[in-house]
């Protein structure tokens, strides 16, 4: 388990995959629970707080998932009442609070002229510092093809070995440098079998590729952990 709450379209959300993993339930059962609560809520509340979307499974096939705002998560989690479930709900609530505070800081509006000037100067400085990284990042985000981890490391301005170590330390990659299933399910990575000839024998070696969504996720995580 890594990130409980993340930012999607400018708001703090979790998703059905995360809920299923944390509460140790089958994803199809969680989807059923969520759709039932959305149906009960109905109207504008359901439209604003439950978002049907897709992720790609380990075979790169599209599968349904649902993003949940804090209010939507609260409705769904009400029925999960074991001691362990209550403890996990507290962690979700704390993480929603942290992410929302982060969003408030990002979009804070200056109230005085001096604050506005300081904000403008800080933004310009950040733009200049990040320009090479942003250009490389945008190149990968706009591409249709999957990228090797080494290529992503170069684009994000971090060494290949250092990025592998970072992903392992944050429980995204396993010891063999392949991603945990939950991050494949979220559409961040694709693992393909690559045939390698060893003498007269041909073996299939897993090769990890990063999707455009995965590049963005890694970039945000690096900014958060290393900045």
For residue 69, the 8-state DSSP code is -
Q: Which domain holds residue 164?
A: 137-226
Quickly tell me which residue has 């979700």 as its tokens.
Answer: 92
Query: Same structural domain for residues 15 and 67?
Result: yes
How far, in Å, CA of 195 to CA of 104, rounded? 49
Closest CA to 10 of 52, 58, 69, 54: 69
Query: Same structural domain for residues 43 and 92?
Result: yes
Inside any domain, residue 186 = yes
Final residue before a domain boundary, out of 106, 128, 148: 106
Bridge partners for 12 per DSSP: 7
Q: Which pLDDT does position 135 carry in this prediction?
A: 53
Query: Same structural domain for residues 187 and 141?
Result: yes
Query: Same structural domain for residues 98 and 188?
Result: no
- Do residues 204 and 194 lie in contact, with contact meaning Cβ atoms separated by under 8 Å? yes
How far, in Å, CA of 2 to CA of 18, rounded? 9
Bridge partners for 62 per DSSP: 56
Find the distance separating the first CA and the last CA of the chain, reported in whole Å.
Answer: 22
How far, in Å, CA of 180 to CA of 197, rounded? 26
Q: Give the chain's residues under pLDDT 50.
A: 139, 141-144
How far, in Å, CA of 77 to CA of 14, rounded? 12
Query: Same structural domain for residues 99 and 153?
Result: no
Q: Give the chain's domain count.
A: 2
Query: Same structural domain for residues 147 and 81?
Result: no
Inside any domain, residue 124 = no
Query: Same structural domain for residues 99 and 11?
Result: yes
Inside any domain, residue 120 = no
Tens-digit pLDDT profile for residues 39-88: 988 888 888 899 998 888 777 788 899 999 999 998 888 878 767 777 77
Q: How far is CA 176 from the centre of its chain?
A: 21
* DSSP three-state, residue 10: coil
Query: Same structural domain for residues 98 and 144?
Result: no
Q: Which pLDDT does position 141 carry in this prediction?
A: 45
Inside any domain, residue 20 = yes
For residue 159, the 8-state DSSP code is -
Beta strands per DSSP E along 21-163: 50-56, 62-68, 147-148
Quickly tell me which residue has 């003498």 as its tokens.
Answer: 199
Other Cβ atoms less than 10 A from the Cβ of 167: the count is: 23
Q: Which pLDDT does position 198 carry in this prediction?
A: 62
For residue 81, the 8-state DSSP code is -
Final residue before a domain boundary, out of 86, 106, 126: 106
Q: Which pLDDT does position 9 carry in this prediction?
A: 76
């Amino acid at each position: 388990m890594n990130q409980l709450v993340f930012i999607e379209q400018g708001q703090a959300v979790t998703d059905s995959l995360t809920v299923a993993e944390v509460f140790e339930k089958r994803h199809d059962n969680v989807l059923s629970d969520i759709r039932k609560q959305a149906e009960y809520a109905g109207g504008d509340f359901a439209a604003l707080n439950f978002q049907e979307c897709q992720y790609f499974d380990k075979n790169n096939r599209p599968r349904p998932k649902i993003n949940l705002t804090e209010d939507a998560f609260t409705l769904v989690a009400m029925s999960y009442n074991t001691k362990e479930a209550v403890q996990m709900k507290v962690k979700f609530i704390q993480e929603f609070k942290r992410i929302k505070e982060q969003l408030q800081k990002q979009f804070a509006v200056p109230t005085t002229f001096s604050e506005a000037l300081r904000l403008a100067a800080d933004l310009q400085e950040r733009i200049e510092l990040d320009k090479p990284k942003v250009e490389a990042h945008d190149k990968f985000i706009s591409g249709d093809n999957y990228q090797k981890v080494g290529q992503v490391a170069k684009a994000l301005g971090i060494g290949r070995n250092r990025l592998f170590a970072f992903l392992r330390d944050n429980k995204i990659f396993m010891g063999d440098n392949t991603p945990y299933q939950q991050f494949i399910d979220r559409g961040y990575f694709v693992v393909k079998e690559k045939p390698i000839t060893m003498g007269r024998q041909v073996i299939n070696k897993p090769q990890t590729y990063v999707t455009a969504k995965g590049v963005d996720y890694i970039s945000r995580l690096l900014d958060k952990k290393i900045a």
